[in-house]
Amino acid sequence: MNKGKVIVTGGAGYIGSHTVVELVESGYTPIIIDDFSNSEPEVIRRLEEITGQKITFYNAKVQEESLLPDLIQTAGAIKAIIHFAAYKAVGESVEKPLEYYENNIDSTIAVLRQIQKNQDVKLVFSSSCTVYGQPDNLPVTEDTTRKSAASPYGNTKQICEDIIKDAVSASASMKALSLRYFNPIGAHESAKIGELPIGIPANLVPFVAQTAAGIRDFVTVFGNDYSTPDGTCIRDYIHVVDLAKAHVKAIQYLDDSNEESIYDVFNIGVGKGHSVLEVLQGFEKVNGVSLNYRIGDRRPGDVEMIYADCNKANEVMGWRPRFSLKDALKSAWDWQQHLMEKEHG
């Protein structure tokens, strides 16, 4: 049964591509918009292999003036827009704040303008736990006070959440959710899609995998003098497939809601924190490899420790994570090995 079409901005990216698979498996027809600034067109072919169906995609930026209105008008029966398209590297955002503000905020406004005109279309927004800054108390709930963001990237997520909330408040029938992701890692079980950073990875696990593969000489642990049990930063690591499934649950939740207008936020994590050293050691153990790592200076914009309370997503949306940290770290290495096999024929 076709449950309708879902526009996925940034759908060739890491989280977007996994969500496309889950949408297809749940009976939706995804339409991808991606400018391939942080992904590759090859991902579309791989998605077609996994799903066994043709994937419609547009090589474009979301904010291109006529793209969304033309697409919504011609495609028909658009159920929702899942808005992933954004620049996302914390460190880079500190170096290039204007690019981050322009891209991340303008694209969100472009999406909202179209939903404002087509209010049957629901919005699921890709937010982040960075909106909490460095919280006073853990775990963080959706009611935890948002502090000043530790990076321009985090600030763009705070601003976009506020813009969406204000747009819904001004509307009689707009429905939107913001999903606040914690740290997605891992890859699809097929090892045909996974995190594919362009250039040097900004995130820990792909850098670890590339180091294990001999592509990088060593992993730098950014600081070991934090007030944590082993001195390294603590994060809530969630398997990307679990995260992808949360987007399907979000659309279903909005569909089932009897409210005329709705805006809400949900934490999407596993509810437990792991340190950087725990991740390194866990990767070594589950995959039978050894890693070369060094302790470096703290990185600007990094939060010391954060992990989620996910009870709201569990109880209200009926979403629960299924995969463990070990599962995620094993799938990340499987994906890296697949990339190496492809590269070497």
Catalytic (active-site) positions: 153
Instruction: Identify whether the C-beta of residue 243 lies closer than 8 Å to the C-beta of residue 17.
Output: no
**Spatial CA neighbour of 227 closest among 134, 90, 325, 310:** 134
**Separation of alpha carbons 196 and 210, rounded Å:** 11
Does residue 139 have a cis peptide bond before it, meaning omega lies within 30 degrees of 0? yes
What is the strand order of the sheet 56-59 is part of? Answer: 56-59, 29-34, 5-9, 78-83, 122-128, 175-181, 262-268
CA 16 – CA 243 distance, rounded (Å): 10
CB pairs under 8 A, 24+ apart, for 207-215? 208/279, 208/280, 208/283, 208/291, 208/332, 209/283, 209/332, 209/333, 209/335, 209/336, 210/336, 211/291, 211/292, 211/293, 212/283, 212/287, 212/289, 212/291, 212/333, 212/336, 213/336, 213/337, 213/340
Write the DSSP symbol of residue 130.
Answer: G
